[in-house]
Structure 1
Amino acid sequence: MKIAIVNGPNMNLLGLRETGIYGTVTWKQIEDRLNKLAGEWQVDVLFFQSNHEGEIVDFIQQQLHALDGVVINPAGFSKTGYSILDALTAVGIPYVEVHMSNIFERGGWHAESIFFANAVGHVIGLKANVYELGLRGIMQHVKEQRTSISGKEWRTGAH
């Protein structure tokens, strides 16, 4: 199983950026933790972050046949990233949406996400822990989908 962890704009600044909201854990520390868990869970994890919407679209399209699922923190693209949403929808890769802060508590534009309706799950407001929980969630979803598809090859578009 191969899962991508995709981060939108400014998530590369974790540990420095608004520590009262996001905490002091760096992205490197989160990656290290997820790599350790991935080894224990026997899953391949691929990390991608960009401040540019088109680069995220390109990444998703390039990974079309390689990925079983995505954990995505669209960050600032939550309300405007229609091309990212279209790419995920077009390739049919299931995804869990995560946000380190409680986007609903923050209100305003933070509380709106165009990704929400199509996600197989959501994890919000638990700071760095959202990534581990999102990874667990998408792995479970993929496993359940694989066992419910009898006689059909997974991720071929036959389901």
Structure 2
Amino acid sequence: MSKPIYVLSGPNLNLLGVREPEIYGKATLDDVRKLCEQRAAALGRTVVFHQSNHEGQLIDWVQEARTEASALVINPAAYGHTSIALLDALKMLDIPIVECHLSNPAAREAFRRETYVSLAATGLVSGFGAQSYVLAIEAAAGQSA
């Protein structure tokens, strides 16, 4: 069996469904996790799903993914715009990295239009709400062994 796809979500994503639902949708993070698990299972894959509001914890999971994951899906949230440390950790991976966003950052405030994560990502999925994660799982599964 192949290694799992790691799915990491950054700060404030634990509040999905209540935080600005007009931007991020009404799906909860648990709904997103279930969608990821279902899509991965349909593709013969599994996921390891984590969320943290703490930058260091996300970096620890990225480092773990180096040896334990077949691919990484990451929604860095605001850390995408601020964390060079997260970028440095991602640059150590030799597995596919799919950056994922619920909203379309390019259509939002100027400070959201670029992320450090994009400098290390294999590809980007954004703007489809919870479905962004499902599409990212598909892309990650298609890029990894």
TM-score bracket, shorter-length normalisation: over 0.9
What is the TM-score with the length of structure 1 in the denominator?
Answer: 0.85
Structure with the greater alpha carbon radius of gyration: 1
Q: Which has the higher contact order (CA 8 A, sep 6+)?
A: 2
The separation in 2 between residues aligned to 1:91 and 1:98, in whole angstroms, is 17
The separation in 1 between residues aligned to 2:143 and 2:12, in whole angstroms, is 28
SS at match of 1:4: strand
Give % identity: 36
Residues 82-121 of structure 1, C-alpha deviations (whole Å, 9 max, x = no match): 1111111113232010111110110221112111132111
The separation in 2 between residues aligned to 1:91 and 1:117, in whole angstroms, is 13
SS at match of 2:37: helix
SS at match of 1:47: strand
8 Å contact 2:90–2:120 — kept in the other structure?
no
Please show how residues 23-102 of structure 1 align to structure 2 within 5 Å: 23-102=25-104
Aligned position for 1:152: none
In structure 2, give the amino acid aligned to 1:111: R
Q: Which sections of structure 2, spanning at least 5 residues, go unmatched?
A: none
Aligned position for 1:122: 124
User: Shift of the alpha carbon at 1:64?
Assistant: 2.4
SS at match of 2:139: helix
Aligned position for 1:139: 141
Please show how residues 104-123 of structure 1 align to structure 2 within 5 Å: 104-123=106-125
| Runs of at least 4 residues off by over 6 Å | none
The separation in 1 between residues aligned to 2:104 and 2:35, in whole angstroms, is 22
User: Shift of the alpha carbon at 1:34?
Assistant: 1.6
The separation in 2 between residues aligned to 1:6 and 1:28, in whole angstroms, is 13
Aligned position for 1:21: 23
Q: Which sections of structure 1, spanning at least 5 residues, go unmatched?
A: 144-159
Q: Calculate the aligned-residue CA RMSD, in Å.
A: 1.2
Residues 31-56 of structure 1, C-alpha deviations (whole Å, 9 max, x = no match): 11221222221111000111111111
